[in-house]
């Protein structure tokens, strides 16, 4: 692009020369002792096309090398990271942030208007204290509930992983474990997340990641207040070991008078009881899915009344889909309750009907002669005898035989082969 001598001289005098980049925690990495290479005027900014100081570093072990992509002026105008172009406060794409804050920043895209706009923004940056964003973003009075719900509270270091090895995908990579790229199956090329443009992300248009997050925000659950107006208690879960009662009171006192605060350390949860229902509803609305204390995202729900706790047994009979389970036909019913007295005691252990014969039910029968103490049910002599056509009847039990000379099984005359051996001996 041909530029005038004056503008070329101005651009050359205002080329960026920085000592440290503007980065988010994810791009910087988890290693506190990091080494960077600095190249003065190494490349031109991918937004304003002006040369700037390029920084290059490795965020961690088995991670790919990263470098700054845009200049610090473009980064300050949108309050984004120089590498990933995500918002420094919420960790979200610019399109999601502007939608949540209802900001419409129509930044010019033509070369001449962009240069003039950038020069005016540089003057505003020099006059500001550097603690707040400039432009339309700096005029926003407060934050958004949607952004607090979608905001990332911890770094996402998986974003720094190496790219997929194209030789491995084709089956031609010979480096093995020494290959600095990932040996994984690539994503679907038709996936919209596979087609991302750095300029679309910066200007906040046609960003597939932003579209995915906005759809997630529209489908987020809500915390409806219970019908019982006497409930003024909120349940706070996921406390951990670092959050104290004073931390909870410092957050919830702004919504109204707190009656009691109970912390259950074993379950890592707490119960906040307010003096009025209005204060509890306000606290639930302002804290649901966006409560962060000491860097921990906490869960906020309504407490339950005593009547609701008494109905937990009935709720257990409901399935996960909310429908009551019906009994399967053909299965036996529940066993009868135990008898109240010894007179009602019977041997009907299998819940059989009254039409069943006593021999099948193995009920108490009169003992045979000579037996004073009958055996318990199930341990007596067999009730079924074989038919005559099947062979001779089995011998009676030893306890029912008359006393005689038979003392051992080998002397039993009815044992198999006993008659043959007796005749053979005679």
The predicted model gives 16-22 an average pLDDT of 87
Residue tagged 């003992």 (tokens)? 367
Instruction: Tell me the pLDDT band of 308, cut-offs 50, 70 and 90.
Output: low
Q: Binning pLDDT at 50, 70 and 90, where does residue 236 land?
A: very high
Is 325 a member of any domain?
no
Confirm whether 64 is domain-assigned.
Answer: yes
Asked whether residue 321 carries a pLDDT value surpassing 50, the answer given is no
Residue where one domain finishes, among candidates 154, 189, 220: 220
The string of DSSP letters for 360-385 reads: HHT---PPPTT-SSPPPTTSSS-S--
**With 50 as the cut, is the pLDDT of residue 5 above it?**
no
Q: Are residues 120 and 254 in the same domain?
A: no
Average pLDDT, stretch 106-112? 79
| pLDDT above 70 coverage of the chain, percent | 67
- Within this chain, do residues 239 and 91 fall inside the same structural domain, yes or no? no
Residue (of 88, 92, 47) closest to 70 by Cα position: 47
* Residue 287 and residue 191 in one domain: no
**Whether 20 and 136 share a structural domain:** yes
Based on the fold, state whether residues 41 and 190 are members of the same structural domain.
Answer: yes
One domain, residues 269 and 137? no
Q: What's the domain count of the chain?
A: 2
The pLDDT, as a whole number, for residue 39 is: 93
**Do 275 and 214 have their domain in common?**
no
Q: How far is CA 320 from CA 222, 224, 315, 323, in A?
A: 19, 20, 10, 8
350 has a pLDDT exceeding 90: no
Same domain, residue pair 198 and 130: yes
Backbone angles phi, psi at 262, to 5 degrees: -120, 125
Range of the domain at 68: 11-220
* 265 band by pLDDT with thresholds 50, 70 and 90: confident
Closest by CA to 185, choosing from 206, 171, 199, is 171
Does one domain contain both 214 and 241? no
Q: How far apart are alpha carbons 230 and 261 in whole angstroms?
A: 17
Q: Which residues contact 319 (CB under 8 A, 6 or more apart)?
A: 325
- Of the three residues 187, 220, 253, the one that is the final residue of a domain is 220
Between 41 and 405, name the one with better pLDDT: 41
Beta bridge partners of 269: 237, 264
pLDDT tens digits along 175-223: 988 999 999 988 777 777 777 889 889 988 888 888 888 888 877 777 8
Cα(12)–Cα(18) distance, rounded to whole angstroms?
15
Position 115 in a domain: yes
Question: Would residue 388 count as lying in a domain?
Answer: no
Q: Is 53 a member of any domain?
A: yes
Q: Mean pLDDT of all residues in the chain?
A: 77
The whole-model pTM stands at 0.55
pLDDT at 163 over 50: yes
In this prediction, residue 425 carries a pLDDT of 47
Tell me the backbone φ, ψ of residue 330, rounded to 5 degrees.
100, -15
Q: Residue 297 has which token pair? A: 């995202």
Retrieve residue 112's tokens.
Answer: 């001449």
Residue 402 is assigned to a structural domain of this protein: no
Task: Give SS3 for 121.
Answer: helix
Residue 333 is encoded by which pair of tokens?
């019913």
Q: Which residues contact 154 (CB under 8 A, 6 or more apart)?
A: 295
Domain with residue 283: its CATH number is 3.30.70.330
Whether residue 143 is found in the same domain as residue 84: yes
Q: Measure the CA–CA gap between 359 and 337, rounded to whole angstroms.
A: 24
Residue where one domain finishes, among candidates 282, 313, 344: 313
Whether residues 137 and 204 fall in one domain: yes
* 113 and 16 within one domain: yes
Residues 6+ apart with CB under 8 A from 267: 237
| Most confident region among 54-68, 131-145, 197-211, 220-234 by mean pLDDT | 54-68
Higher per-residue pLDDT: 299 or 405: 299
Residue 299 has pLDDT above 60, yes or no: yes
Alpha carbon distance 311, 291 (integer Å) = 30
Residue 348 inside a domain? The answer is no
In whole angstroms, how far apart are CA 347 and each of 17, 335, 358, 375, 378? 97, 13, 10, 13, 10
Summarize pLDDT for 360-406 with one digit per residue, the tens: 444 555 666 655 565 665 555 555 444 545 555 666 665 555 555 55
* Two tokens, residue 193: 């997340």
- Using left for φ > 0, alpha for ψ between -120 and 50, and beta otherwise, residue 331 falls in beta
Q: Residue 418: pLDDT above 60?
A: no
């Amino acid at each position: 692009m041909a530029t005038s001598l004056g503008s070329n001289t101005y651009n050359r005098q205002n080329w960026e020369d920085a000592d440290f980049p503007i980065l988010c925690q994810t791009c910087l990495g988890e290693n506190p002792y990091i080494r960077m290479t600095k190249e003065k005027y190494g490349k031109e900014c991918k937004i304003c096309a002006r040369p700037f100081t390029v920084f290059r570093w490795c965020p961690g072990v088995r991670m790919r090398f990263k470098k700054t992509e845009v200049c610090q002026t473009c980064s300050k105008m949108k309050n984004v990271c120089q590498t990933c172009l995500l918002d420094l406060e919420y960790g979200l794409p610019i399109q999601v942030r502007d939608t949540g804050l209802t900001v419409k920043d129509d930044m010019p895209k033509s070369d001449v208007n962009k240069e003039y706009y950038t020069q005016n923004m540089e003057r505003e940056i020099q006059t500001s204290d550097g603690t707040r964003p400039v432009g339309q973003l700096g005029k926003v009075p407060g934050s958004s509930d949607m952004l607090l719900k979608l905001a990332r509270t911890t770094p996402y270091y998986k974003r720094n992983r190496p790219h997929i090895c194209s030789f491995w995908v084709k089956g031609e990579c010979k480096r093995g474990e020494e290959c600095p790229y990932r040996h994984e199956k690539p994503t679907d090329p038709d996936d919209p997340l596979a087609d991302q443009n750095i300029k679309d992300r910066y200007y906040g248009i046609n960003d597939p990641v932003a579209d995915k997050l906005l759809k997630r925000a529209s489908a987020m659950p809500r915390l409806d207040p219970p019908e019982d107006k006497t409930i003024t208690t909120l349940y706070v879960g996921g406390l951990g070991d670092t959050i104290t009662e004073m931390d909870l009171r410092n957050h919830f006192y702004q919504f109204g008078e707190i009656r009691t605060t109970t912390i259950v350390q074993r379950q890592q949860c707490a119960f906040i009881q307010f003096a009025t229902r209005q204060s509890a509803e306000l606290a639930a609305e302002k804290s649901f899915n966006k409560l962060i204390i000491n860097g921990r995202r906490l869960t906020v729900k309504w407490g339950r009344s005593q009547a609701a706790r008494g109905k937990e047994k009935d709720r257990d009979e409901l399935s996960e889909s909310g429908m009551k389970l019906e009994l399967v036909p053909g299965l036996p019913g529940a066993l009868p309750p135990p008898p109240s007295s010894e007179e009602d005691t019977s041997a009907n252990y299998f819940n059989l009907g009254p039409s069943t014969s006593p021999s099948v039910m193995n009920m108490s029968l009169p003992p045979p002669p000579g037996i004073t103490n009958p055996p318990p049910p199930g341990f007596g002599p067999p009730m079924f005898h074989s038919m005559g056509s099947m062979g001779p009847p089995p011998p009676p039990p030893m306890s029912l035989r008359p006393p005689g000379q038979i003392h051992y099984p080998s002397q039993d005359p009815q044992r198999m082969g006993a008659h043959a051996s007796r005749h053979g001996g005679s």
